[in-house]
Amino acid sequence: MKLREMVEGRQVIVTCGAGGVGKTTSSAALALAAARLGRRALVLTIDPARRLAQALAIPLQGPDPVRIDDAKLLEAGLTLPAGGELHAWMLDPQVVLERIVDRFSPSVEMAARIRRTRLYGALSEVIIGLQEYTAAEALYDFAEKGRYDLIVLDTPPSRNALDFLDAPRRLTRLLDERTLAMFAPVEHQASALVRAASKVVMTALERTFGEPFTHDLQDFFGAFGTLFGKMRIHAEGVRTLLGSPRSAFIVVTSPEPMALEEAIFFKGRIKELGLIARGFVLNRSYAVDGVLKHPRAITDAPPELLAALAKLEPFADVEETRAAEHRAIFERLAKTGLEDDGDGAVALPFLDQSIDDLAALHVMSDAILAN
């Protein structure tokens, strides 16, 4: 798998993986690598990442993507070529939901009516399942408008990311027009069968939850139904985009056993969803390190230096063992990554420094561009 080719040629890269494997920083480094190649790149993260926000000097959540200032990049030793831009957004689902309502509502009055319902207020506050859909909606909107050459989407930790991948289909099932018709006022229902079924449903809801709540539910779904057709088209558009050659899924992992287990599971789940995982990124790895000369192999040095080197031998033994383990893990991932039309695996180095500023992302993007 060639990460450089990916950041050069794709419009969307979706990074997936367990928590704690460096997925968010890998996503930012991929976007930075694209910007260094003269592309307008956006890293879009669903779960607000405080460390990344601090590293890029952007709000933890904000109404719009933020372009990383040239002066900030220069401090990290970076000068982007003509056309190269790095943007980042810690996605705010409430902001995206507001825009969905505004864009899809047939009128300003209808948008206001939807917002007035108590259920809309609860939905925008609780955001159960909404986060994934709003991420898909934001991704689709940016891609269709051509605002960025590359969008790198950083998904939530492994199992939660499956909700993102499946969100368009689940939303389409939830907002089936026949379901919404059950909540429309009786006088607006053309079918006698639907009117009868709706009456049964509404009566049961009133007895269970009370008349005020049921009327709120009816108002909300009645108003929301006007948005459904356009939302369904967008949901299908997201699915088409993610399954097209314009997009690529990569699974980020680390050498830890639990992370590897999640990575293998996740690749299989992507396949179940009818998509292709292009391969694995083995992050924080010694598999890419060159073979270093063991202190024990150095014999032509002054006695005092040899004595000092002898003290380093136990540490060198540990490093050699770890590097061998990581290379074995990488070979296994590379083989698995080639299955199902995938492209194998890539190893990114273990950095001694914390990835909490642009300078560190700069180093990480060097490894991506060298791949």
Nearest-angstrom CA–CA distance, 360 and 55? 9
Give the pLDDT confidence of 283-309 residue by residue, as tens digits. 988 887 655 677 888 888 888 888 888
Residue 161 CB burial class (10 angstroms; 0-12, 13-18, ≥19): buried
Token pair for 370: 């060298």
Give residue-wise pLDDT tens across range 57-106.
777 677 788 999 888 899 888 999 999 999 998 876 677 677 777 776 77
H or E element at residue 121: helix 118-126
User: What is the per-residue pLDDT for 30?
Assistant: 96
| Dihedral pair phi/psi, residue 4, rounded to 5° | -60, -45
For tokens 């139904």, name the residue: 225
**What's the pTM?**
0.78
CB 316 within 8 A of CB 296: yes
What are 307-363's pLDDT values in tens digits? 888 888 888 888 888 888 999 999 999 999 998 888 999 998 887 656 668 888 898
Furthest CA-CA distance within the chain = 99
Q: How far apart are CA 277 and CA 74, in angstroms?
A: 35
The DSSP annotation for 235-255 comes to HHHHHHHHTSTTEEEEEEE-S
Distance CA 191, CA 81 (A): 62
Give CA–CA dist 26/273, Å, rounded: 24
Domains along the chain with CATH numbers: 3-293+317-370 (3.40.50.300)
